[in-house]
Amino acid sequence: MQRLFPGIEQDFLGVGAILIDATNDAFWFQNGGYLAPSASDLNGVCLSRPQLEAVVRSRVLRLPNVTINAGVTVLGLTRAENRSVGGVTLDRGEGAETLTADLVVDASGRGSRTPAWLAQLGYRPPAVSEVKVNMAYATRTYRRSPGDLDGGHLLLVAPQAPHQKRGAVLAAQEGNRWMVTLTGMLGDHPPVDDAGLLAFARSLPTQDIYDIIAHAEPLSDIVPYRYPSSLRHHYERLSAFPEGVVVIGDAICSFNPIFGQGMTVASLEAQALQDSLEGGLQELWKRFFRRAAKRIDIAWTLAASADLAFPETLGTRGPAVKPINAYIARLLQVARHDPGLTVAFHQVSNLIKPPSSLFSPNILWRVGSGSIRGVSPHLNREPCVPLAAAGASRDVSL
Ligand SMILES: Cc1cc2nc3c(=O)[nH]c(=O)nc-3n(C[C@H](O)[C@H](O)[C@H](O)COP(=O)(O)OP(=O)(O)OC[C@H]3O[C@@H](n4cnc5c(N)ncnc54)[C@H](O)[C@@H]3O)c2cc1C
- Please tell me the predicted confidence (pLDDT) of residue 380: 60
Which atom of ligand 1 is nearest the CA belonging to 254?
19
- Please tell me the predicted confidence (pLDDT) of residue 276: 98
Using the mean position of ligand 1's atoms as its centre, give its distance from the Cα of residue 375 in Å: 38
Mutate to test the pocket of ligand 1, among 90, 231, 255, 263 (most ligand atoms within 8 A of CB): 263
State the Cα–Cα distance between residues 132 and 313, nearest whole angstrom: 6
Spell out, as residue ranges, where the chain has pLDDT lower than 50: 382-398
- Please tell me the predicted confidence (pLDDT) of residue 374: 64
Instruction: Classify 27 in phi/psi space as left (phi over 0), alpha (psi -120 to 50) or beta.
Output: beta
- Please tell me the predicted confidence (pLDDT) of residue 38: 84
Question: Cβ–Cβ contacts within 10 Å for residue 283, how many?
Answer: 12
- Please tell me the predicted confidence (pLDDT) of residue 295: 92
Minimal-distance CA residue to ligand 1 atom 18: 262
- Please tell me the predicted confidence (pLDDT) of residue 5: 95
Per-residue model confidence as pLDDT tens digits over 117-146:
999 999 999 999 999 999 999 999 999 998
Minimal-distance CA residue to ligand 1 atom 3: 257
Name the residue ranges covered by the structural domains of the chain. 1-68+318-398, 106-127+234-308, 130-228
Helices (H) and strands (E) in the chain, counts: 10, 15
Using the mean position of ligand 1's atoms as its centre, give its distance from the Cα of residue 3 in Å: 20
Asked if CATH classification 1.10.287 holds for the domain at 130-228, the reply, yes or no, is no
- Please tell me the predicted confidence (pLDDT) of residue 395: 27
Q: Is the CB of 262 under 6 A from ligand 1?
A: yes
Give every CB contact of residue 252 below 8 A, 6+ residues apart in sequence. Answer: 232, 233, 235, 269, 289, 292, 296
Q: Is the CB of 267 under 6 A from ligand 1?
A: no
Q: Is the CB of 107 under 6 A from ligand 1?
A: yes
Which atom of ligand 1 is nearest the CA belonging to 139?
1
Three-state DSSP state, 24: coil
Let me know: does 381 contact 37? Beta carbons within 8 Å.
Answer: yes
Q: Facing residues of 128 across strands?
A: 233
